[in-house]
């Protein structure tokens, strides 16, 4: 079968991958569509260290092909959106409704794939850049058949992370003020999360002026090319500032833009050894810096919620899909993503 393989030197589209049959508590999914996220590119450029060779992809949707023993919530033929959380469901964090903190869901890559007999790692417990992938049952979330799978695929990362950061982690409230630094796939979903939450003022910041139209479509009330003009709009600062780029200098800017009792939420992926600096005195008056993994999401709850919001017109998905590429055009899709030409490119099989 086809898939995108990274061997530590360069990614390539291959056609001779194999994946094992599902065991107990596992689901085999035929992937229809998979979004290309910057986290996939970060594996390639080394920002995210990951063992190789690895089958890339982590934002996908498709159709259940087979299930293992003890799987009852999905069956062959069901349409599913995949999450990256292979959480155990039995630890204290899972029991408290915090699957993103489950230690079995973090940094334990399996090897369900082979190529010419060589085992291959699975990225983010998912590997959606393959015609078929194997996931834990908890990762396969049933969605209505009428959701376009090219759009539904994006729920699995961009939407869960961006909208989830607003609703679950920051808990933005009606009338709050929000600044979003970076309007890529994650930033656009932070913008629409703020809109859904009822934020009064939502300032999008991006150095690319071509992104203004999309930012306003998703919920921005203002658009700036830098953070310099934020105080003209919000003289006392913002209630919430979301850093969606992953530059350490922008972490400092996010902190500096906070109002009293404000929160800076860090979503952009920096290199593991990168360090950010800020003045501790800036944190007085109850300001906070919040980390956020995967939108503090509970995928079996949140994916159906977002599917319902999409069907009602409140959540934009189709508008996120800037371009669709056959998987054989992965190199072009990656280049377009690096150059900021797309909100989200989607690979199809």
Give the number of other CB atoms < 10 A from CB of residue 49: 9
Cα torsion 61, 4, 85, 276: sign:
negative
Q: Looking at residue 327, what is its pLDDT?
A: 98
Tell whether the model's pLDDT for residue 107 goes beyond 80. no
Q: What is the mean pLDDT of residues 180-186?
A: 96
For residues 294-318, average pLDDT? 97
For residue 344, pLDDT beyond 90: yes
Confidence of residue 325 (pLDDT cuts 50, 70, 90): very high
- Residue 282: the pLDDT is 85
Alpha helix (H) residue ranges in the chain: 38-45, 92-95, 149-152, 158-164, 185-197, 212-218, 230-233, 248-256, 299-312, 330-338
Name the least confident of 61-70, 204-213, 273-282: 273-282
Q: Is the pLDDT of residue 116 over 80?
A: yes
**Residues near 226 by beta carbon (within 8 Å), at least 6 away in sequence:** 205, 207
Using pLDDT thresholds of 50, 70 and 90, give the confidence band for residue 253.
very high
**Residue 105: is its pLDDT beyond 90?**
no
Mean pLDDT over 88-114 rounds to 91
Q: What is the pTM of this model?
A: 0.95
Averaged over 172-198, what is the pLDDT? Answer: 97
Give the whole-number percent of the chain exceeding pLDDT 70. 100
Q: What is the DSSP string of 13-49?
A: EES-EEEPPP-TTEEEEEEEEEEE-HHHHHHHHTSS-
Does residue 108 carry a pLDDT above 80?
no
Say which range, 14-18, 273-277, 330-334, has the weakest mean pLDDT: 273-277
**What mean pLDDT is predicted for residues 210-217?**
96
**Average pLDDT over every residue of 324-334:** 98
35-76: pLDDT as tens digits: 999 899 999 999 899 999 999 999 999 999 999 999 999 999
Query: What whole-number distance in Å separates Cα of residue 244 and Cα of residue 181?
Result: 6
Pairing type for strands 26-36 and 60-67 reads antiparallel
């Amino acid at each position: 079968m086809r898939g995108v393989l990274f061997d530590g030197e360069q990614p390539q589209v291959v056609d001779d991958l194999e994946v094992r049959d599902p065991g107990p508590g596992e689901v085999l999914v035929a992937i229809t569509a998979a979004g290309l996220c910057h986290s996939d590119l970060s594996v390639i450029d080394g920002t995210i260290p990951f063992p190789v060779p690895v089958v890339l992809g982590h934002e996908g949707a498709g159709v259940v092909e087979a299930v293992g023993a003890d799987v009852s919530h999905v069956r062959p033929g069901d349409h599913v959106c995949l999450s990256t959380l292979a959480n155990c469901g039995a630890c204290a964090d899972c029991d408290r409704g915090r699957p993103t903190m489950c230690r079995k869901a973090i940094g334990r890559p399996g090897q369900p794939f082979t190529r010419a007999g060589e085992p291959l790692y699975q990225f983010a417990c998912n590997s959606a850049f393959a015609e078929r992938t194997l996931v834990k049952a908890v990762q396969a979330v049933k969605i209505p058949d009428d959701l376009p799978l090219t759009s539904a695929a994006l729920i699995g990362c961009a939407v869960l992370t961006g909208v989830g950061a607003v609703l679950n982690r920051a808990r933005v409230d009606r009338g709050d003020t929000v600044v979003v630094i970076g309007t890529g796939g994650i930033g656009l979903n932070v913008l629409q999360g703020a809109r859904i939450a009822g934020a009064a003022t939502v300032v999008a910041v991006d150095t690319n002026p071509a992104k203004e139209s999309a930012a306003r479509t998703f919920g921005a009330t203002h658009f700036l090319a830098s953070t310099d003009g934020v105080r003209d709009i919000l003289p006392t600062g913002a209630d919430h500032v979301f850093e969606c780029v992953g530059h350490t200098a922008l972490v400092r800017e996010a902190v500096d833009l906070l109002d009293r009792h404000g929160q800076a939420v860090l979503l952009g992926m920096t290199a593991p050894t990168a360090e950010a600096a800020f003045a501790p005195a800036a944190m007085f008056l109850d300001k906070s810096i919040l980390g956020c993994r995967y939108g503090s999401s509970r995928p079996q709850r949140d994916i159906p919620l977002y599917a319902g919001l999409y069907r009602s017109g409140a959540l934009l998905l189709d508008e996120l899909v800037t371009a669709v590429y056959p998987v054989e055009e992965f190199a072009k899709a990656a280049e377009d993503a690096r150059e900021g030409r797309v909100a989200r490119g989607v690979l199809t099989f």
